[in-house]
Chains A and B, each alone.
Chain A
Amino acid sequence: MRMLQNSAASLWDALGNTVDACDPTFFGAESSFALRDLYVGSALGDRSDELSGQSVLIATTDQLAAAAAILELDGVARRITLCPPDVPLEYLASVAKSAEADAIVSDNPAIRIAVPGVTSFIHCDGKILPGDRAAATRHETEWILLTSGTTGVPKLVLHTLASLAGAAESGRPEPNHVIWSTFYDIRRYGGLQIFLRAILTGSSLLFSSAHESTADFLARVGAHGVTHISGTPSHWRQALMSSDANLIAPEYIRLSGEIADQAILNHLGTVYPQARISHAFASTEAGVAFDVSDRTMGFPASVIEHTPRVEMKVENGSLRIRSERTAFRYLGEDSRPLKDAQGFVDTGDALELRGDRYYFVGRRDGVINVGGLKVHPEEVEAVINRHPKVRMSLVRTRKNPITGALVVADVVLNTEPNNENKDERQTRQDILQFCREELPSHKVPATINFVPALAIAETGKLIRHHA
């Protein structure tokens, strides 16, 4: 999209460019609003002018409320900090301090008490009242995104609208019938990308809800005729476990946030034969780097050298990225540098070159050490997931007195749980045999536990506990 560069200085301006022609709507689980109504009204009770030049914490429970607040405050506030709803209240005070927050926008009065240092509180529950967004666009607003830190306290990552919308800008203009949806919350990088795409292209957007089952979400996605939808491979594995997966008929499926293995790409291709399926590499810090649409795991080696406007290199086995879409820095006391001296972000994602293709093998910090030999849990999961009886798996470390650690796997089968021990034993042997054929012996799980489900974080990623 060119409009952001040429004629729109803020999201509000972008909205003005599309709202009449496209008449987009935001659909929530319980309510919805037409962006046309927001454009001639306000969800902040006409108080956006008060927030001009301020640092504002947007900490609503409701996603629609956050969407409205973001639209009204970009270009007005000096800084907006997007708090996902699952950030524990006890961390909000430290987030507010690091963001130097002057004001809070929320639908949750408890936040007032949790963050006593910030006295200005503006109620916003997504209801739009007639009025006028009084404030004029004056600031290039800093956007702060939260990512989960290793200690639990979120890290604050600084972007601007330009760095966040860089990938949406280079996207092709979308036809008017496009309706976007995403399993992600829009206050996370993956979801925010979809939110920005929808605004910049004048498309409607259907929001997920933390209070809704996957089946209910799929039913809404189907009922509204969503055409474009994004999520993590774990989101999609869950969706495909539901018989409601056949309620949706997307034209375009986008995977990001985790490694897309061949099993999930094949499975999506079978269930949605008409869909264009792409898997993207992006992170909050590194921004959107590239996407691949050939339905094959990994990516062609040429992508490293020939991706427009994104420089990439592999150093010490991990992918490094420099582009206009990377974040600028971390905020807060004792925050470490986000980039190296040359401006490259180390993604921490380990790559392996096989033939003319690169494959993601896992996170550098998730490596299991089996008697001195390294194992990436993700590479073992990719093999297990290809077994026809497996829906999804989690490979983890187990302490061992001889090798220090061993690899073990928790596996969710795609058949109904079966109490016949004999079947289960045979399936376990089959999966192990499959692993032995594909992997060196130290990477083969020592034990396989069948579990009914695996825990997925609010980020849409499998929850991993690093030893």
Chain B
Amino acid sequence: MNVRSEIIAQFKRVAHEQDKRLAPLTDNLELLNSGLDSLSFAILVTRLEDSLGIDPFTASEDAQFPVTFGDFVNLYENVAK
């Protein structure tokens, strides 16, 4: 499964479910400005753990929460490797 496309799909799905207006997902987009709240991110991380089989936040003790959408994708891609 392509990690980036799965992440994009889940961002869209969760935003839709949570009735949030999602900003265009560019690598420079700051997650705080993405339109998702912390509950949405919590759900997103859980869904991605189910679909990709990884949770980078729990996998590494010193995982920093990513700042931009690009960081977010990188974090998952690095663990998925």
Contacts and interface: CB of A to CB of B under 8 A. Distances in A.
User: Does B associate with A?
Assistant: yes
Contacts of A446: 42-43, 46-47
Contact of A402 (B41, B47, B50): B41
Contacts of A276: none
A402 B17 contact: no
A196 interface: no
A402 B58 contact: no
A401 B57 contact: yes
Given A398-B46, A441-B18, A446-B47, A403 B39 contact: yes
A445 to B, nearest CB: 9
Given A402-B45, A447-B47, A441 B57 contact: no
* Category for how many chain B residues contact A: 10 to 19
B1 to A, nearest CB: 16
Interface in B29-75: 38-39, 41-43, 45-47, 50, 55, 57-58, 63, 65
- Chain B's interface: helix, strand, loop or mixed, by majority? helix
A146 B63 CA distance: 47
Nearest to B63: A401
Contacts of A432: 17
Interface in A389-410: 398-403, 406, 408
Contacts, number: 41
A398 B42 CA distance: 11
B39 A370 contact: yes
Contacts of B45: 400-402
Contacts of A436: 17
A371 interface: yes
A442 interface: yes
Contacts of B42: 370-371, 400-403, 406, 446
| Listed residue (B41, B42, B55, B63) with the most chain A CB atoms within 10 angstroms of its CB | B42
B16 to A, nearest CB: 11
A451 to B, nearest CB: 15
A442 B58 CA distance: 21
Interface string B16-34: 0110000000000000000
B6 to A, nearest CB: 15
Interface in A427-456: 432, 436, 441-442, 446-447
Contacts of A441: 18, 39
Interface of A: 370-371, 398-403, 406, 408, 432, 436, 441-442, 446-447
Which 6 pairs between the two chains have the least Cβ-Cβ distance?
A401-B57, A403-B42, A402-B42, A446-B43, A446-B46, A400-B42
5 contacts: A400-B45, A401-B42, A401-B58, A406-B42, A406-B43
